[in-house]
Homo-oligomer: A and B are copies of this chain.
Amino acid sequence: MAVDAIGTEGAGESALSPVMQDYLKVIYAANEWSDAPVTTSWLARRLGVAPSSVSNMIGRLTSLELVHHRPYASIELTGEGQQMGKAMVRRHRLIETYLVAELGYRWDQVHAEAEVLEHAISDLMLNRIDAKLGQPTRDPHGDPIPGPDGTVIMPDAVPLTELQAGDSGVVARICDDDPVLLRYLEDLDVHLDCLIRVIEQRPFGSGTQVEIVPADDSTTGSARAAAPSIVLGNEALTSIWVVRDPQQAATRGADG
């Protein structure tokens, strides 16, 4: 189950090319929050290459027994492919976390940098980073960081679209696909672990009104100003994942 040993390869083994590593990483991550089948054209769009390039590379990965693929069917990782994909995801997310924690990056800036660095740093450096951060288990966007042994801690989150008016939830993940959205949400004070309550769903995808409940550090409800109430569009609603606040949709009302 060892998920390590990517950089500065250990003598004998023939390391995968960075491009192959990217394929495995992207396929692994695709199956993380969804079970939609991974197709050639989806990968092509995701990786920014022509579909024929994907066919080609999937052929090679298939003969390396890193993916299963019958022509015209969907693409799945083998056990070994899964390990390597997971190892790349670990690299990517540890690097993102490091950039935020140690070099003052904003969460909308880390993705592109990590995309390159994940192929460049050695295992030694990865371990130093992991140690310096204290073995974190999630990255700045709330995605789980697989442990060195392959352990993954998945929060039981759903997209904000799943909540009904009156429901509330704690933000557990924000998709890092769109940096512009990330900046926007940052401005709106939407952070990991913040509490969101759905006020009203508007019809025909014209948005949902939600309330960002300010952090409640001082357990005595201090002077809690009017909670900002905002309207989120569909992109935001599907990008923000929350852990449902179980039965009591009113954590705030419990002692008030």
Contact = CB atoms under 8 A, between A and B. Distances in A.
A109 B121 contact: no
B128 A104 contact: yes
Interface stretch (A111-119, A146-154, A243-251): A111-119
A252 interface: no
A124 interface: yes
Given A102-B102, A103-B129, A129-B103, A120 B122 contact: no
Contact of A120 (B119, B124, B128): B119
Given A119-B120, A120-B117, A125 B103 contact: yes
A165 B8 CA distance: 44
A60 interface: no
A46 interface: no
A202 interface: no
A121 B113 contact: yes
A131 to B, nearest CB: 9
A102 to B, nearest CB: 7
A45 interface: no
A91 B240 CA distance: 37
Contacts of A119: 120
B124 A113 contact: yes
Contacts of A116: 120-122
Contacts of A122: 112-113, 116
Interface in A116-167: 116-117, 119-122, 124-125, 128-129, 132
The 8 A-B residue pairs whose C-beta atoms are closest, nearest first, are A120-B120, A103-B128, A116-B120, A117-B120, A113-B122, A113-B125, A104-B128, A103-B125
Given A103-B125, A116-B121, A117-B117, 20 more contacts: A8-B112, A99-B125, A102-B102, A102-B132, A103-B129, A103-B132, A104-B128, A105-B128, A109-B124, A112-B122, A113-B121, A113-B122, A113-B124, A113-B125, A116-B120, A116-B122, A117-B120, A117-B121, A119-B120, A120-B120
Interface of A: 8, 99, 102-105, 109, 112-113, 116-117, 119-122, 124-125, 128-129, 132
